[in-house]
Amino acid sequence: MTGPAQTAPPRLFTYDFTVLLVAAAFGFCNIAVFYGFASYLERLGVAPAWRGWLLGAEPLAAVCLRPFLSVLVTPRNALALARAALFCMGLALCGYLFARGLGPIVAVRLFHGASFVCLVSAVTVMLSRAIPTGLSGRAFGLFSLSALVPYAIMPPITEWLLPRLGGEDRVYAACSVLVLPGLAFLAPLGRRFGRRAMASVAGTQRPDLAAVRRTLSLNPVRLVLAANLCLFLSTTPVFFFMRPFAQGVGLGDPGLFFTVSTAASIAMRLFGGAYYDRLPKAAALVAALACLAACLAGFAATTGPVRLLVLAGAYGLCLGVAMPLANAVMYGHSPPAMRGTTLNLMLFMMDMGYVLGPVAAGAILAKGAGYPALFLACGGFALAAGGLVAPLAAADWRKRRKRRSASG
């Protein structure tokens, strides 16, 4: 006599999920190669006053397009958009060979940025359909690695290619070949994510304005969106202003800060990701944000390189927990049919953080407040993010307590 059939546990590394990770990684490789773009502009003779604008043209495209893509991209058109975006990224990378004046460079940067934001938005929508129930924390931890790992491997590859190809524009063009494996991996997804395959699936059509309003009226959705903005307001100034601060406290190679913090963040997502779905996600997110605030306050009190590097490791560990869990909490509190929209709005909050964070930090430093005041302000934003998520953590705790009382 056999017992009742056992349901197989959900499997994370399906073909769909793995391919989406790979496609996103190839997309980020084509962005990470631009780590030395400012030096390239200097060699082209671009005036210093214009370099910042040219650097910012690509993320500006994301800020402008993401709100519309959050609604327009659906599971029915996401695969076609991802393929087109990858192809356009290849064209943009080749376009740097011919862009020499300000106008052509701006045009290529905007086209490149628009292609990239379309790719990430499309992959995010498909990812919302490919994540198994109960594994969102680990899934977002691994997905975020597709953005981190290219920034670790592409700079040394670029440095190896530069003397062999003879210039950055040729390296950018050579990297266009990376879109080919991305397109090849996406090809089999047509059976499950193609327009015909999704046409009869409920909840995959474009949401109307009423559905968007209903979703944004949900208190958990509003709280997590605001928390994500505060999270990136707390971290983007660190990215842009840590270099001079690190030099000021005696760290000879400021890049070590980012090496240590990135390594710690990757390690946390790899080895701690299995616990993201076992712990109460909202409570763990609040704890990570509180620790992040402590790290940022620690930067303000740092006067030596050793302590700074220790804090860099702690900072990376906190980000390795907070960023994936923020998306996992949003995923859990969003209506299933609207998860693609809400996750893209999370990306929009990130985009806004990358625009507003440096602006706010520059204003603080321009007033002569100094780096300690800047990092304390960053810590304040991290605390605010934790405070916004705290009501969700409390509600989850009450639900668990009620379930335990009912079962007892």
DSSP-derived letter for residue 187 is G
- CA 325 – CA 304 distance, rounded (Å): 32
As a whole number, mean pLDDT of residues 105-134 equals: 88
- CA 342 – CA 125 distance, rounded (Å): 9
pTM of the model: 0.81
Is the pLDDT at 94 greater than 80? The verdict is yes
Which CATH class, in words, describes the domain spanning 207-408?
mainly alpha
- CA 9 – CA 296 distance, rounded (Å): 40
- CA 355 – CA 2 distance, rounded (Å): 61
Which are the contacts of 220, defined by CB distance < 8 A and separation ≥ 6? 329, 333, 392
The lowest-confidence range among 36-50, 159-173, 309-323, 367-381 is: 36-50
pLDDT of residue 4: 46
- CA 192 – CA 124 distance, rounded (Å): 15
- CA 103 – CA 405 distance, rounded (Å): 67
pLDDT of residue 355: 81
What digits encode the pLDDT tens for the residues 1-13? 444 445 556 777 7
Listed in sequence order, the DSSP H helices in 272-367 are 281-300, 305-333, 339-366
Which are the contacts of 249, defined by CB distance < 8 A and separation ≥ 6? 302, 303, 304, 305, 308
As a whole number, mean pLDDT of residues 44-63 equals: 80
Is the pLDDT at 162 greater than 80? The verdict is yes
Specify the domain boundaries for CATH 1.20.1250.20 within the chain. Answer: 11-203, 207-408
Single out the residue of 262, 382, 237, 376 nearest to residue 313, CA to CA. 262
Decide yes or no: CATH 1.20.1250.20 for domain 11-203. Answer: yes
Torsion angle defined by CA atoms of residues 154, 124, 23 and 150, in that order, rounded to the nearest 10 degrees: 10
Torsion angle defined by CA atoms of residues 327, 242, 155 and 311, in that order, rounded to the nearest 10 degrees: -70
- Pair 275, 286: CB distance under 8 Å: no
What digits encode the pLDDT tens for the residues 79-90? 899 999 999 999
